[in-house]
């Protein structure tokens, strides 16, 4: 088992805090931040594009008035996606990973979030035009100036990380992973996190379970029913517990803004799911026995 990282076991995802979701007011954001801290969620996950490049600024305003001490939380942000929206002069969605742009984007996030440093800075998605050397130069300058404390990637394959690491070390990979999106458990992505001691983070950790009514989700619901009583846990807690049993020590990035569900997600980390129960859920999701 990996040694726990410096990030909270459950990470609060902020994508839906602003205009792409709940449109929380400043006071509602402050209340939600404090609620997270009260329940041991100290890490907040951002990206420059969230809320059409507006979320970080709204969060930063709330944080600056929250009286929360900077050393009590961890801030993550991402850069690289050039999103087509009113606040950017982009004609086509694309990716930008030049040295100057990476540095500019990090400094913009710092300004918007009202902080002097990011605990982790990620390249949001891989580009077919990535060149490791300009990326490394940007990261080294940001690290040496104290503006970022760690560098990682999101949605990268092991071979893409290997290419980046010809020039600069990668400490984390945030990928889609859940009971209904378990591909990274088989394609080498999580193996790479274990082997290279990278922090593994999972976005959309509940997968499609609550979004879709399909044969797959129906199979999972059926086998999960007795587990709810056995573990005295809700469906979302069991799905998170399933994910966190993986030896990559995955940190789920939980996107809910509901306070009770955030509190419940922390309790999920205390569930020690039995081995055969874990495989029962996997089998239900995949629709066949393991090979």
What pLDDT digit, counting tens, does each position of 236-262 carry? Answer: 999 999 999 999 999 999 999 999 999
For residue 1, pLDDT beyond 60: no
* Pairwise CA distance, residues 268 & 117, whole Å: 30
Give the CA distances from residue 195 to residues 1, 221, 284, in Å, rounded to whole numbers and listed in that order.
12, 34, 29
Domain boundaries, the chain: 11-170
Number of Cα atoms under 13 Å in the Cβ half of residue 27: 0
What pLDDT digit, counting tens, does each position of 197-241 carry? Answer: 999 999 999 999 999 999 999 999 999 999 999 999 999 999 999
What pLDDT digit, counting tens, does each position of 14-56 carry? Answer: 999 999 999 999 999 999 999 999 999 999 999 999 999 999 9
Output 151-154 pairs: Cβ under 8 A, ≥24 positions apart: 151/120, 151/121, 151/122, 152/120, 152/121, 152/122, 152/123, 152/198, 152/199, 153/122, 153/123, 153/126, 154/78, 154/122, 154/123, 154/124, 154/125, 154/201, 154/203
Q: Does domain 11-170 have CATH number 3.10.105.10?
A: no
User: Greatest CA separation found in the chain?
Assistant: 55
3-state secondary structure of 43: strand
Pick from 44, 63, 33: which is nearest to 119 by CA?
44
pLDDT band at 3 (very low <50, low <70, confident <90, very high): very low
pLDDT at position 26: 97
pLDDT at position 2: 44
Q: Which residue matches tokens 């008035």? A: 65
* Token duo for residue 161: 């990380």
Q: What are the catalytic residues?
A: 50
The 8-class DSSP code of residue 176 comes to E
pLDDT band at 4 (very low <50, low <70, confident <90, very high): low
* Pairwise CA distance, residues 18 & 120, whole Å: 21
What pLDDT digit, counting tens, does each position of 281-291 carry? Answer: 999 999 999 99
Whole-number percent of the chain with pLDDT over 70: 99
């Amino acid at each position: 088992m990996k040694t726990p990282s410096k990030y909270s076991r459950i990470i609060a995802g902020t994508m839906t805090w602003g205009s792409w979701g709940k449109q929380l007011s400043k006071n509602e954001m402050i209340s939600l931040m404090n609620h997270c801290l009260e329940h041991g969620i100290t890490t907040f996950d951002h990206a420059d594009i969230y809320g059409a490049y507006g979320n970080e600024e709204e969060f930063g305003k709330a944080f600056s008035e929250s009286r929360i001490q900077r050393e009590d939380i961890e801030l993550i942000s991402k850069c690289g996606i050039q999103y087509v929206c009113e606040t950017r002069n982009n004609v086509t969605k694309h990716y930008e990973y030049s040295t100057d742009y990476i540095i500019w984007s990090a400094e913009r996030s710092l300004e918007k979030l009202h902080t002097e440093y990011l605990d982790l800075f990620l390249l949001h998605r891989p580009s077919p035009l990535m060149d490791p050397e300009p990326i490394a130069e940007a990261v080294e300058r940001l690290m040496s100036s104290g503006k970022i404390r760690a560098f990682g990637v999101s949605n990268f394959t092991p071979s893409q990380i290997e290419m980046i690491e010809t020039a600069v070390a990668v400490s984390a990979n945030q990928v889609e992973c859940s009971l209904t999106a378990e591909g990274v458990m088989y394609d080498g992505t999580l193996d790479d996190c274990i082997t290279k001691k990278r922090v593994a983070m999972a976005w959309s950790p509940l997968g499609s379970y609550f979004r879709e009514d399909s044969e797959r989700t129906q199979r999972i619901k059926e086998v999960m029913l007795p587990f709810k009583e056995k573990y005295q846990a809700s469906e979302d807690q069991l799905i998170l517990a399933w994910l966190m049993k993986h030896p990559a020590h995955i940190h789920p990035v939980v996107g809910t803004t509901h306070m009770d569900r955030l509190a419940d997600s922390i309790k999920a980390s205390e569930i020690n799911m039995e081995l055969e129960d874990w495989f029962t859920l996997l089998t239900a999701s995949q629709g066949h026995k393991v090979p």
